[in-house]
């Protein structure tokens, strides 16, 4: 169907009073919009009817609403058509510029023109429909997290493949003697729930269990993961839609903590070992099987310690209290010492802690255990400093238990950086540890990138399941150290995300953060020069390579951030509704006043996630800024293609500013590395500008968050002042 554009200019909310609407209409008509109309209040019922009437009677099927920001009245202007564009005249022009002013008018006219050109270049996206999509879930790891994820997915109606490397299910949990209390009064130890969960999953016909099995290979993409599993030498393949990775943790190697004597003295054991001994019945010490009646617990053994594990394993305080309790229950005449650094019993665990504190047979103190030595009876002398008693103390015990921490299985390997990246580089796109958990056939490596201490958690506080590999969700302690109830929650959430990815993929929609986006990349392969930028820079590893280094794009892995579009020097990556040509056309059609007018022009590329809403806030607060900027929203700052900079400068634009999200360790970019990539690209263009005798300061990037909107006017004003200092772009008028 032929596209018929209708432009609707609202004159309410000071737009009509501040702008010359007739000239706006002329600009729209001149830009070849077939239908151009004004209305006194488009967002009111009559206004919407006004547009709908044109759609019905005049065949308008591509609507441009020149009124308020797209952040408001989104529901009112939901016209049920894919080709809808909002030109922000309210927050973006009249609320941040003086009324009835020549410069304000020029700004509004540019935006109307740019909106129409954008629409002319835009096509309605059609959802990507892959064939033979699988709705099954693959769960890797058969511990508490894996079993929970599998059970929960199956309960929701999905078939599950559960792959466990050991010969039985349950992981560490299967070795537990008791569990910490989960209900008031939070004093009584509970039977491990894992046995019931194992039974439940074994009886569930929707779950196919592979024990003694490893994932040998995963090829493909969400909806289309082809999984090869090796079990006792046999190889089996199946297709899965999404993956929960619940490989779990192993205990830290206690022999490394030399001053605590593990491995040297038989009666120094770890918390894990005590649990196994306790489940066998009487708790006796290893050297002579004597009942362990005086026991010391050393917390943070090799934890919160830069030479061992720098982090806290989050569960050991509570687990040690639990172990102290069952020792006290088994031997009423026993004496237990607990040496801790900070007693970490958050939430309701505090009740449990209080109960233990009230037991006179348990001696608790903060303290640093300096050494453990053995006496002639194989008893252990424990020397502790900095105790709350204000002195050094020594206790003699039958058994010492080290609360060693967890090491995620995802950390068990060498860190591998992308080609050409060195440790300490300013920008490290990702860290890969090849651990044989997933064995993905991805160009960027076989596992999901790790973020902190080898854990593959999320960098986002509000989006705990955000991942750098679409459709692959880590769950349980491989993600972050966590206790039993958190693991169950975590795994249930991961199952939801896996199912959600499967359903979104089925509908041809993107997953977070662009949920519902049905556009995807078209690659004009004939022009590809095999430079590999797109395959290397995709934050989500969506693009593989063939043997000739041509990109092999996986639409269902794609998050639609368009970082590849920004990366490609040949401009061959495009979306139906977002392309280099589209933004380039907008940029090239900004009116550039002649040099003698002394009115510079700058393009401001803004990230539509944070910086664009921040600009709205500027308008909402009626903060004024320079009229010489033209805002162009981008899906992500990382989708900025350098050709736009060239287009702008050759057109006589004086400078280019990018407002993107914070990058670096605590990045806020929702596309992970997008804003950092924008910064790096921009620094490259700065070198080129220097060579062309153009000031490199004509391009600049600022990191801005939505809450820092009040800083924006100054940033814009100062940028324009800087450009004025440089003088006009010498290419102006060429």
- Which of 8, 158, 540, 575 forms a contact with other proteins (CB under 8 A)? 158
Calculate the CA 9 to chain-centre distance. 38
Q: List Cα–Cα distances, 667 to 419, 458, 693, in angstroms.
A: 22, 11, 34
Rounded-to-integer distance, Cα 616 and Cα 89, Å: 11
Closer Cβ to other proteins, 63 or 309, answer by number: 309
State yes or no: residue 393 binds other proteins (CB under 8 A).
no
State yes or no: residue 345 binds other proteins (CB under 8 A).
yes
- Which of 43, 364, 565, 615 forms a contact with other proteins (CB under 8 A)? 43
CB 463 to other proteins: min, Å: 7
State yes or no: residue 412 binds other proteins (CB under 8 A).
no
CB 692 to other proteins: min, Å: 37
* Residue span binding other proteins (CB under 8 A) among the ranges 25-33, 209-217, 451-459, 525-533: 451-459
Q: Could you say which residues in the range 609-638 bind other proteins, by CB under 8 A?
A: 609-610, 613, 617, 620-621
Going residue by residue from 358 to 387, which x/- string records binding to other proteins, judged by CB under 8 A?
--------x-------------------x-
State yes or no: residue 311 binds other proteins (CB under 8 A).
yes
CB 238 to other proteins: min, Å: 18
Closer Cβ to other proteins, 116 or 316, answer by number: 316
Closer Cβ to other proteins, 428 or 646, answer by number: 428
Q: List Cα–Cα distances, 564 to 62, 167, 298, 504, 592, in angstroms.
A: 27, 43, 51, 22, 30
CB 467 to other proteins: min, Å: 13
- Which of 19, 224, 343, 568 forms a contact with other proteins (CB under 8 A)? 343
Tell me the backbone φ, ψ of residue 419, rounded to 5 degrees. Answer: -55, 135
Q: What residue spans of 383-456 are helical by DSSP H?
A: none
Structure token digits, residue 215: 């994932």
CB 152 to other proteins: min, Å: 6
State yes or no: residue 472 binds other proteins (CB under 8 A).
no
Q: Could you say which residues in the range 264-293 bind other proteins, by CB under 8 A?
A: none
Label the pairing between strands 406-408 and 249-251.
antiparallel
- Which of 28, 33, 36, 68 forms a contact with other proteins (CB under 8 A)? 68
State yes or no: residue 41 binds other proteins (CB under 8 A).
yes
Exposed, middle or buried by CB within 10 Å (0-12, 13-18, 19+), for 287?
Answer: middle
State yes or no: residue 30 binds other proteins (CB under 8 A).
no
- Which of 499, 586, 678, 712 forms a contact with other proteins (CB under 8 A)? 499
Q: Which residues are CB-neighbours of 526 under 8 A, at least 6 positions away?
A: none
Q: Could you say which residues in the range 679-698 bind other proteins, by CB under 8 A?
A: none
Structure token digits, residue 41: 């209040």
C-alpha Rg value of the chain to the nearest Å: 31
Q: Could you say which residues in the range 512-541 bind other proteins, by CB under 8 A?
A: 512-513, 515-516
Closer Cβ to other proteins, 612 or 644, answer by number: 612
- Strands (DSSP E) contained in 423-579 are 432-433, 472-474, 522-523, 543-545, 551-553, 573-574
Closer Cβ to other proteins, 76 or 680, answer by number: 76
Rounded-to-integer distance, Cα 545 and Cα 580, Å: 22
Closer Cβ to other proteins, 533 or 635, answer by number: 635
Closer Cβ to other proteins, 446 or 619, answer by number: 619
The conformation of residue 93, written as its DSSP 8-state character, comes to: I
DSSP per-residue string spanning 417-453: PPTT--TT-S----BEE--SSS-B--TT-SSPPB-BT
Q: Which residues are CB-neighbours of 461 under 8 A, at least 6 positions away?
A: none
Rounded-to-integer distance, Cα 699 and Cα 318, Å: 54
* Residue span binding other proteins (CB under 8 A) among the ranges 117-125, 304-312, 394-402, 553-561: 304-312
Contact in structure between 312 and 300 (CB atoms under 8 Å): yes
State yes or no: residue 82 binds other proteins (CB under 8 A).
no
Q: Which residues are CB-neighbours of 462 under 8 A, at least 6 positions away?
A: none
Structure token digits, residue 535: 């395959």
State yes or no: residue 178 binds other proteins (CB under 8 A).
no
- Which of 103, 436, 503, 717 forms a contact with other proteins (CB under 8 A)? 503
- Which of 53, 98, 396, 463 forms a contact with other proteins (CB under 8 A)? 463
Label the pairing between strands 602-607 and 573-574.
unpaired
Contact in structure between 260 and 369 (CB atoms under 8 Å): yes
Closer Cβ to other proteins, 73 or 334, answer by number: 73
Overall size of the chain counted in residues: 734
- Which of 304, 370, 588, 724 forms a contact with other proteins (CB under 8 A)? 304
Q: Could you say which residues in the range 580-609 bind other proteins, by CB under 8 A?
A: 609
Structure token digits, residue 301: 């053994």
Exposed, middle or buried by CB within 10 Å (0-12, 13-18, 19+), for 733?
Answer: exposed
State yes or no: residue 342 binds other proteins (CB under 8 A).
yes
Contact in structure between 591 and 642 (CB atoms under 8 Å): no
State yes or no: residue 319 binds other proteins (CB under 8 A).
no
Rounded-to-integer distance, Cα 137 and Cα 500, Å: 11
State yes or no: residue 17 binds other proteins (CB under 8 A).
no
Rounded-to-integer distance, Cα 116 and Cα 31, Å: 7
Tell me the backbone φ, ψ of residue 140, rounded to 5 degrees. Answer: -105, 115
Q: Could you say which residues in the range 103-142 bind other proteins, by CB under 8 A?
A: 135
Neighbours of 180 (CB within 10 A): 22
Closest by CA position to 272, among listed 404, 382, 448, 366: 404
State yes or no: residue 348 binds other proteins (CB under 8 A).
yes
State yes or no: residue 102 binds other proteins (CB under 8 A).
no
Closer Cβ to other proteins, 504 or 590, answer by number: 504
CB 256 to other proteins: min, Å: 19
Q: Could you say which residues in the range 181-220 bind other proteins, by CB under 8 A?
A: 183-184
Give the angle 585-607-586 at the CA atoms, nearest 5°: 10
Q: Can you tell me which residue has the tokens 């399941």? A: 465
Contact in structure between 583 and 659 (CB atoms under 8 Å): no
Closer Cβ to other proteins, 480 or 544, answer by number: 480
DSSP per-residue string spanning 228-241: EEEETTEEEEEEES
- Which of 50, 238, 363, 453 forms a contact with other proteins (CB under 8 A)? 453
CB 380 to other proteins: min, Å: 26
Going residue by residue from 535 to 574, which x/- string records binding to other proteins, judged by CB under 8 A?
----------------------------------------
State yes or no: residue 334 binds other proteins (CB under 8 A).
no
- Which of 312, 416, 531, 623 forms a contact with other proteins (CB under 8 A)? 312
Q: Could you say which residues in the range 478-497 bind other proteins, by CB under 8 A?
A: 480-482, 486, 488-490, 492-493, 495-497
* Residue span binding other proteins (CB under 8 A) among the ranges 30-38, 281-289, 508-516, 714-722: 508-516
- Which of 86, 670, 679, 732 forms a contact with other proteins (CB under 8 A)? 670
Q: Report the SS3 class of residue 570.
A: coil
**Span between the terminal Cα atoms of the chain, in Å:** 39
Closest by CA position to 68, among listed 40, 52, 91, 49: 91
State yes or no: residue 12 binds other proteins (CB under 8 A).
yes
State yes or no: residue 93 binds other proteins (CB under 8 A).
no
Neighbours of 686 (CB within 10 A): 18
State yes or no: residue 427 binds other proteins (CB under 8 A).
no
């Amino acid at each position: 169907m032929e596209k018929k554009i209708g432009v609707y200019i609202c004159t309410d909310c000071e737009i009509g009073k501040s702008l010359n609407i007739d000239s706006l209409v002329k600009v729209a008509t001149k830009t070849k919009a077939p239908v151009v109309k004004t209305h006194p209040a488009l967002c009111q019922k009559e206004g919407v009817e006004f547009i709908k009437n044109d759609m019905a009677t005049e065949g308008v099927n591509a609507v441009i609403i020149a009124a308020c920001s797209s952040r408001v009245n989104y529901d009112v202007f939901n016209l049920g058509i894919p080709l809808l564009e909002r030109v922000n005249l309210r927050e973006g022009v009249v609320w941040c510029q003086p009324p009835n002013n020549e410069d304000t008018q020029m700004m509004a006219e540019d935006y109307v023109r740019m909106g129409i050109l954008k629409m002319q270049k835009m096509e309605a996206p059609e959802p990507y429909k892959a064939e033979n999509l699988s709705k099954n879930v693959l769960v890797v790891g058969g511990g508490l997290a894996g079993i929970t994820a599998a059970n929960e997915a199956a309960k929701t109606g999905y078939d599950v493949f559960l792959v466990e490397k050991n010969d039985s299910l349950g992981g560490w949990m299967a070795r537990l003697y008791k569990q910490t209390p989960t209900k008031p009064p939070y004093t009584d130890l509970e039977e491990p729930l894992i046995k019931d969960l194992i039974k439940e999953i074994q009886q569930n016909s929707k779950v196919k269990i592979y024990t003694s099995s490893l994932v040998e290979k995963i090829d493909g993409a969400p909806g289309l993961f082809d999984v090869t599993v090796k079990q006792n030498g046999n190889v089996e393949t199946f297709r899965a839609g999404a993956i929960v990775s619940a490989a779990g943790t192993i205990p830290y190697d206690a022999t490394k903590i030399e001053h605590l004597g593990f491995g040297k003295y038989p009666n120094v054991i770890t918390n894990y070992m005590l649990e196994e001994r306790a489940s066998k019945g009487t708790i006796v010490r290893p050297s002579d099987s004597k009942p362990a009646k005086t026991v010391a617990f050393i917390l943070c053994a090799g934890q919160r310690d830069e030479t061992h594990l720098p982090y806290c394993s989050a569960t050991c305080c509570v687990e040690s209290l639990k172990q102290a309790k069952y020792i006290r229950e088994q031997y009423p005449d026993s004496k237990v010492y607990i040496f801790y650094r900070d007693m970490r019993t958050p939430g309701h665990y505090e009740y449990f802690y209080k109960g233990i504190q009230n037991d006179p047979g348990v001696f608790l103190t903060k303290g640093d255990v300096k050494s453990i030595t053995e006496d002639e009876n194989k008893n252990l002398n424990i020397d502790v400093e900095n105790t709350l008693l204000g002195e050094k103390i020594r206790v003699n015990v039958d058994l010492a238990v080290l609360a060693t921490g967890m090491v995620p299985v995802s950390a068990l390997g060498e860190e591998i950086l992308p080609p050409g990246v060195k440790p300490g580089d300013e920008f490290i796109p990702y860290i890969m540890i090849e651990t044989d958990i997933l064995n993905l056939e991805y160009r960027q490596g076989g596992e999901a990138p790790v973020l902190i201490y080898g854990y593959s958690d999320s960098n986002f506080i509000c989006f705990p399941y955000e991942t750098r590999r679409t459709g692959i969700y880590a769950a349980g302690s491989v993600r972050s150290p966590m206790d039993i109830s958190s693991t169950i929650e975590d795994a249930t959430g991961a199952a939801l995300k896996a199912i959600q990815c499967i359903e979104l993929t089925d509908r041809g929609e993107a997953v977070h953060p662009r949920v519902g986006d049905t556009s995807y990349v078209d690659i004009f392969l004939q022009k590809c020069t095999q430079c590999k930028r797109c395959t290397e820079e995709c934050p989500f590893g969506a693009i593989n390579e063939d043997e000739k280094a041509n990109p092999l794009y996986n639409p269902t892995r794609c998050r639609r951030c368009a970082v590849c579009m920004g990366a490609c020097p040949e401009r061959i990556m495009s979306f139906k509704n977002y392309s280099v040509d589209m933004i380039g056309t907008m940029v090239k059609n900004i009116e550039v006043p002649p040099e003698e007018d002394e009115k510079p022009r700058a393009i401001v590329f803004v990230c539509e996630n944070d910086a664009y809403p921040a600009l709205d806030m500027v308008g909402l607060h009626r903060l004024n800024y320079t009229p010489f900027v033209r805002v162009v929203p981008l899906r992500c700052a990382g989708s900025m293609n350098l050709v736009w900079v060239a287009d702008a400068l050759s057109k006589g634009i004086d400078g280019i500013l990018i407002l993107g999200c914070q990058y670096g360790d605590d990045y806020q970019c929702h596309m992970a590395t997008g804003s950092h990539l924008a910064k790096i690209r921009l620094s490259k263009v700065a070198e080129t500008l220097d060579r062309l005798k153009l000031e490199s300061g004509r391009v600049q990037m600022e990191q801005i968050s939505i809450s820092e909107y009040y800083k924006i006017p100054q940033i814009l004003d100062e940028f324009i002042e800087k450009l004025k200092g440089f003088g006009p772009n010498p290419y102006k008028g060429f």
